[in-house]
Amino acid sequence: MMKIGLLDGGDGRSKHSPKVGFQVVRWAKPQVVWAKLNIDGSARSSPGPSGGAGICRNLGGDLIFAFSMGFGVGSSNRAELHSVWQCLSMRRSPGLSKVVVESDSSFVVDLVNRTAIPSWAWDHWRKRIDEITISGSFSFSHIPREVNGPTDGLARLASATQGNSAYFVWADLPRDIKGLVLLDKTRLGAVKEIP
């Protein structure tokens, strides 16, 4: 981890800011027989126009499917949960039974993993997700926001346009999302600030 101190050049005396560290974080490929779903939700205000996205990839980091979908007015938590449900529903068609689901929302991961007690407003979403995950092997994990770049980009697009798109070929993804998926596949990583 690299630490950086800042100097004040105005009076010649050193003034150090709090030290900030940086860490390289990478999207990790799933195990051999598993697929990986990265999920994200986005709301332009709270509540406001919301949308979500998911990207499913195999061991090689190749695209199995991706989607972006506008969800109307809502919160980012609702959009994130709706994205989990939507993506798990879509995975039925390719017949994926062993799936790692990653989200940068600790709220959603805790809710689905039952490490948080839901309010009545969120229990409905957890039950809908439980109905899908009962048939298969699923693992839900929290990841840093910096590792979820491609999905974040698709979710922001969906919340802005309220459009719906499905992608089954890498070449059909929006240009900037293609680049982010390729960076994940090559495992170059992103930089995360650590206080």
Instruction: At 180, list the tokens.
Output: 């982010």
Q: Domain 32-188 classified CATH 3.30.465.10? A: no
Which amino acid appears at position 45 of this protein? Answer: S
How far is Cα of residue 43 from the mean position of the Cα atoms in its chain? 14
User: Strand pairing of 35-43 and 48-57?
Assistant: antiparallel
Helix, coil or strand: residue 26: coil
The total of other beta-carbon atoms located within 10 Å of residue 34's CB is 17
Per-residue pLDDT of the chain (195 residues; tens, 9 = 90+): 444 444 444 555 555 556 667 777 888 888 888 899 999 999 998 899 999 999 999 989 999 999 999 999 999 999 999 999 998 888 766 667 788 999 999 999 999 998 877 788 788 888 888 888 887 788 999 999 889 999 999 999 999 999 999 999 999 999 999 999 998 888 776 777 777
Alpha helices by DSSP H, the chain: 76-90, 106-112, 120-133, 149-161, 175-186
Return the pLDDT at 161.
94
102, 141 contact by CB (below 8 A)? yes
Helix, coil or strand: residue 51: strand
Return the pLDDT at 8.
45
- Which residues, other chains included, contact 93 with Cβ-Cβ below 8 Å and sequence gap of 6+? none
